Every structure is written in C-alpha cells, then in structure tokens.
Amino acid sequence: MRLLEHEAKQILKKHAIPVPEGEAFAAGQEITFPPPAVLKAQVPIGGRGKAGGILIADTPEEMGKHFEHLLATPIRGYTAAKILVEQAVEISREFYLAITYDTAVKLPVAIFSQQGGVDIEALAQEQPDAVVQMHFSPLRRFPSFMGRELVSRAGVSGKLLIQLGGLFARLAEVFLDYDATLAEINPLGLTTQGRLVALDCHLDVDDDALPRQPEIAPIEKEQGRFSGGREVSEFERRAQEIDNMDHRGVAGRVIEFPGNLGLIIGGGGASLTAFDAVRQHGGQPANYCEIGGNPSVFKVTELTKHILSKPGVKKIAVIMNVVSNTRVDLVARGVIKGILESGLDPADTVAVFRVPGAWEEEGFRLLDKYGVPYCDRKVSIDQAAQRAVSSAEVA
C-alpha cells in the first residue's frame, strides 16, 4: 500500500523529520494557506512534476486556478481527490535518502546521494559513484553513527554530516516501525537558512503487515482517496480478510478477473507461470491467487469456498511448484473441505490438482478417496494448466 504524500508526511512529522508547512484540501474547501505556495496533486505515483501534477502559485488568483485545474486533470491515469498546498521553500541543495529492502541479501538497505530530485535507478547506472548504500540489521536498527558513516562515503562532512546522519536514523525508524517496503525522501532540501526539509516523500507499507498497523490500516479502507488506476474489489478485500484470519502461511492474495476457472496457485514465479499458462491455453481465469508457507486447513478451506462463491465459477485448478515448506496433504484437505462445504462434489469441481512435494503421498491418498484428478512432478505446470483448461471447457 502506498500512502499519499500528505499522509506520509504526517508520519515523518511524528518522527521529527521536518516537512514544509502545508495542508491538504478537497474540492469545495476554502484554501486558507497563503501564497506563494506549491500545489501538489495527491495521487499514488511518482514523477508528478513531469506529468503536470505540481504547480507553483504566487497569488491567490493563481492558487485558485491551479487548485481547480489539478482536481480536474488526470495525472497518468489518476485523478486527485485532494491537493496538498505547501509553503514555498528556498532551496540551496537537494539530496536523496531512502530505506528499502534488498531481497537478494534479505536485509534493509540505506541509500544516499548528493543528487536529489532525480531518478535514482538511472543515476546509479549512469554515475555509480554518485549513489552509496549500506545494509543493516533490523534488530540492530540504523543508529545515527551509521547514517553519518554512509553520508561521509558520499563526500559530505561538517555540520551537514551530523544533520543528515540523525535524519537518516529517524527515517530508518519510520521504515521499521511501519513495516515499510520503501521509505524515501526525494528530494530532501537544504534551505538557504541551513535547515533540512523533506520536500517530497514516498512511504510504501507491506500489505501483509496492515493488520498490525492500526494507524495505517484504516487509511487503506478509506473510499475516495483518489480515483483512477485499479481499486481493490470487494471479492479481493474478502480474500485479504481470509488471509488475515490465521497467521500461518499465505492464502488470500487474490486479484479478480472475469473468467470462469478459479485458481489456487503457488506463490512467487510459479504462480505467474501457472496463470500465464492457463491463459496461453485459452483458459479464462476467474482470479489470480497465491498460496504458500504452509497455510492451515482452515485458511485453504475458506479460500476455496470464497473462490467458488464467485458467480460462474464451477471448476478450480490447484497448481503449485514442488513444495518443501508447504504440506501437500493440508492443501488437499483444505480444498476438499471447502468444496464439500460449498455443497459440491470434489471429483467434479477440481479441474486439476498439481502440488508435488512434502507429504504428497498422504495428500494423494486423500485425493484418491474423493476421486479428484491429480498429477505429480512428472507433469509440468504448463501441462497441468492445459488439463485444467480442457476440464473447464467441458464443464
């Protein structure tokens, strides 16, 4: 989940990270903030400046004109419901600060550059020496002395080094305390008075962590934060609730599609492979769905019932890669239980069951008992998808 800029800046302020004075206004509200000011469309994307989503007003007349324009103008497919109006700040320098997660080494990483307001990925490719980074342990956190060490590698010294080191430590607290996948300040401005100010920021929070984020979880459910893009459907929201009902494993990351073949597929690359294979063979998926990490029978049962509750879905395909951290028998038991509780026959409802791996013999015996068609690892994901599509076509 990506917070809008004004939402993220409220969190930065709570962690003593300076931001410009400002307030977000919706249509029909009177703007009480005086010019000169910067008006920013509140949409969940970056690059708003280049797309015309950030305007500067020097007079009240200009402010009103820009405000109405930004509310009415789509920004890369999104239309703002609120406009952030901020005090214009005189800047002498800009920096880039970010904390994100490095999936390769499975650790958070702090990133810094003396060149702010730029595409950091492009800068890293064109000028590798201009971007420095440092991994750190979430248990040890990221104290200010590590922030100073990182910033010094980029050639910063003196009083500014101390300021940036402390601010970096506070940004790391935001990242860790809010279960973020990205906490980015770009640009961080140095004012002509020598004060650091977060001019823009991005804060992305892990969707799976929302249940333990009481400050942020209600924001995700708010209606009308912006329009456009793709909003979570009620079907998808219910799947998230199922996933949150039990901490064990994953079973509920669902994206809805208008097809007739329900999918329960393994997470990661295998799920994308299975989904694409179903479509390539002419199938019409009713959903994309990830399971893994050894979800409980209860969780798989509820997910199965939910997918079968969608109008038009008469068949489901259960396809995963070879699993070591998920028990085949538990998945089989949950799928069969969900089908039975939906008042259906497992033999007629499962188009294919391809989950080889841990406890597969026990799982296959259970599937045999109910006449459910299954296959082992000798059958590829692509072949299993083809069988599922053929079964769905004759349903």
User: Domains (ranges, CATH) in the chain?
Assistant: 21-87 (3.30.1490.20), 91-212 (3.30.470.20), 232-393 (3.40.50.261)
Residue 349, both tokens: 């409802």
Res. 58: pLDDT tops 70: yes
| Amino acid of residue 393 | E
- The model's pLDDT over 182-225, given as tens digits with 9 standing for 90+, comes to 999 999 999 999 999 999 999 999 877 888 898 988 887 787 88
User: 321, 352 in Cβ contact below 8 A?
Assistant: no
- Nearest residue to 132 (alpha-carbon basis) of 96, 164, 79, 160: 96
How are beta strands 250-256 and 82-87 bridged, if at all? unpaired
Instruction: Please tell me the least confidently modeled range out of 23-27, 218-222, 322-326, 374-378.
Output: 218-222
Nearest-10 crossing angle of helices 234-244, 297-308 = 170
How far does Cα 260 stand from its chain's mean position?
A: 27
Between the two ends of the chain, the Cα-to-Cα distance in Å is 38
Distances (CA, A) of 186 to 90, 120, 200, 201, 226: 16, 9, 5, 6, 22
**Residue 267: predicted pLDDT:** 67
Distances (CA, A) of 159 to 110, 166, 189, 194: 20, 11, 15, 10
Helix (H, G, I), strand (E, B) or coil at 222: coil
Task: Report yes or no on whether pTM surpasses 0.75.
Answer: no
Res. 38: pLDDT tops 90: yes
User: 381, 277 in Cβ contact below 8 A?
Assistant: yes
Tell me the pLDDT band of 102, cut-offs 50, 70 and 90: confident
For residues 156 and 91, give the distance between their C-alpha atoms in angstroms, rounded to a whole number: 17
- The model's pLDDT over 145-180, given as tens digits with 9 standing for 90+, comes to 999 999 999 999 999 999 999 999 999 999 999 999
Residue 26, both tokens: 């919706």
- The model's pLDDT over 299-321, given as tens digits with 9 standing for 90+, comes to 999 999 999 999 999 999 999 99
For residues 329 and 331, give the distance between their C-alpha atoms in angstroms, rounded to a whole number: 5
- Nearest residue to 115 (alpha-carbon basis) of 35, 190, 222: 190
User: 9, 183 in Cβ contact below 8 A?
Assistant: no
Q: How much is the mean pLDDT over the chain? A: 92
Residue 209 has what DSSP assignment? G
**Residue 168: predicted pLDDT:** 95
**Residue 324: predicted pLDDT:** 86
For residues 368 and 360, give the distance between their C-alpha atoms in angstroms, rounded to a whole number: 12
φ/ψ (deg, to 5) at 205: -110, 140
How are beta strands 78-80 and 37-41 bridged, if at all? unpaired
Res. 32: pLDDT tops 90: no
Res. 231: pLDDT tops 80: no
Mean of the pLDDT values across residues 30-49? Answer: 91
**Residue 268: predicted pLDDT:** 65
Taking phi first (over 0 means left), then psi (-120 to 50 degrees means alpha), and beta for anything else, what does residue 115 get?
Answer: beta
Residues belonging to the chain = 395
